[in-house]
């Protein structure tokens, strides 16, 4: 799977985990040059607390376009530190 935004590959992996229609990419598969920590957090009743990244390509910022669970609940422990995308980021095979 590959995640792209504005024609730039943000992440690529053959070992994503699909949950609720979202592909979670191993943290080692993302290109850290495009990611900055965000102050945004959210909560999922069965996965736990999510943290977010802003994605920057050139001078364009896609705020909170990627999220991850640094310490998910036991039911979702397989996605610890895996990264998923939304907000216009295309995920495709």
Task: Give the strands of the sheet with 2-5, arranged side by side.
Answer: 8-12, 2-5, 90-92
pTM: 0.95
Nearest Cα to 67, choosing from 11, 7, 1? 11
Q: Are strands 2-5 and 35-44 parallel, antiparallel or unpaired?
A: unpaired
Number of Cβ within a 10 Å radius of residue 79 = 20
Q: Which CATH superfamily is domain 2-88 in?
A: Domain of unknown function (DUF427) (2.170.150.40)
- 6-43: pLDDT as tens digits: 999 999 999 999 999 999 999 999 999 999 999 999 99
What residue ranges do the domains of the chain occupy? 2-88
- 36-82: pLDDT as tens digits: 999 999 999 999 999 999 999 999 999 999 999 999 999 999 999 99
């Amino acid at each position: 799977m590959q995640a792209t935004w504005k024609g730039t590959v943000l992440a690529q992996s053959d070992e994503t985990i699909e949950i609720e229609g979202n592909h979670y990419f191993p943290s080692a598969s993302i290109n850290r040059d495009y990611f900055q920590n965000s102050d945004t957090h959210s909560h999922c009743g069965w996965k736990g607390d999510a943290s977010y990244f802003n994605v920057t390509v050139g001078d364009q910022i896609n705020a909170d376009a990627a999220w991850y669970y640094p310490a998910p609940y036991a039911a979702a422990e397989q996605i610890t530190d895996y990264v998923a995308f939304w907000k216009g980021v295309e995920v495709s095979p």
